[in-house]
Amino acid sequence: MNILITGAAGFLGSHLCDKLLSEGHTIIGMDNFITGSPDNLAHLSGTQNFTFIRHDVANFIFVPGKIDAVLHFASPASPNPASPFGFPNLPIQTMKAGALGTHNTLGVARAHDSRYILASTSEIYGNPLEHPQKESYWGNVDPIGLRSVYDEAKRFAEALTMAYHRYHGLNTGIVRIFNTYGPRMRLDDGRAVPNFLQQALQNKPLTVYGKGNQTRSFCYVNDLIDGIIKLLFSEEHLPVNLGNPHEISILNLAKLINKITENEMGVKFLDNMSIGKDPDRRQPDIHRANEIIQWEPKTTLDEGLLKTIPYFQTKMGFL
C-alpha cells in the first residue's frame, strides 16, 4: 500500500513509519516540524520506499500518485504549559491541525478512495465521570477552557470524520489514544514520563504536582502502534480506545521510576501547574479493541520503562 502519514516526525508518527515500512508498504511522511523532530526520521534518509514532504496540514494538501491509506497524526499533544511544544502555547496551531488538518486529509482520502485513520485522544472524555472510559461515553469537557483547544479540536475532528463516512461513504476509522510513552518522546515534552526520567537520571528529586493522586494508564509505544495498524486493516468505523488498562497514580509512577533508575532523591511536591481541570482519573476500557481487532497491550510498565531509559540516556549524553 501507498500510505500518507501526517505528523510523521512526531513520537507516534515516526514509529508508524518504521513499522509500516518494515511490513513492505510505501510511506509518504508529512510534517511541519512544529512539534515533530527531524531526528526521528533521520534514519530513514535514503530509504527507497520512504518520501518526506515538509508541509503544514492546515493548508491544502496535494500528493501525487495513488494513496491507499491516510493516517492523520499531526497535532501538538502535550497539555503542559511549561513546555513550548505543548498545546497551551500553540493554541491556534492545535485547533488548525484538528479542524483544517482533518478536513484537508479527509479530502485526500476522498480523492483517492482511501482508508482513513484519525488519531483522536482520551482527552475527548475530558474529566470523566465514568470510569473506566468506554467509547460510548460522551465525555465531560469544558468547551471554552484552556484545555479546549485540544479537546474540542479532536471532538470536532471525530465529528467531521464520521460526517465524511456517513455522507461520502468514506472508509474511516478513529483511534482514541490513551497515555503512551517510549523512545522518541520529546525530552521537553513536559509530561510525567519524560519529566520523571530526566530528573531520575540526573539524580534529582522527582517533581510531583499536587498530591500525585491523579491516575493515568501508560501504554508502551510498540503496543500502541500494533493496535493502530490492526485498526488500519480492519473495517471498523466507530471510535476504538487503545491504551493500557493498568491504572497507576502519578505519585506511584514517580516511585517506580526512582526504583528502576536507583534514584534515591525521592519526590518533591509542587503546586499543581495543570491548565484547566486536570483529569482526576484516566483509564481505558479496551473491550472493543479486544473484540474487534483482537488487540491488547503486552508490555508491562516496568518492561516499557526499561526499554525507554536507554533512549533518554543517549539524548542526555549519558551513553
Question: From start to end of 88-144, where are the E strands?
Answer: 115-121
d(CA 244, CA 108): 32
- The answer to whether residues 312 and 189 touch, using CB atoms and an 8 Å cutoff, is no
150 is catalytic: yes
Name the DSSP class of 253.
Answer: H
Question: Cβ distance 201 to 312 under 8 Å?
Answer: yes
Rounded to whole angstroms, how far apart are CA atoms 219 and 182?
9
User: Side-chain half-sphere of 120: how many Cα atoms within 13 Å?
Assistant: 31
Question: Of 146, 52, 158, whose CA–CA distance to 98 is shortest?
Answer: 158
Given the residues 150, 164, 181, 220, select the one marked as catalytic.
150
Q: Which residues are catalytic?
A: 150
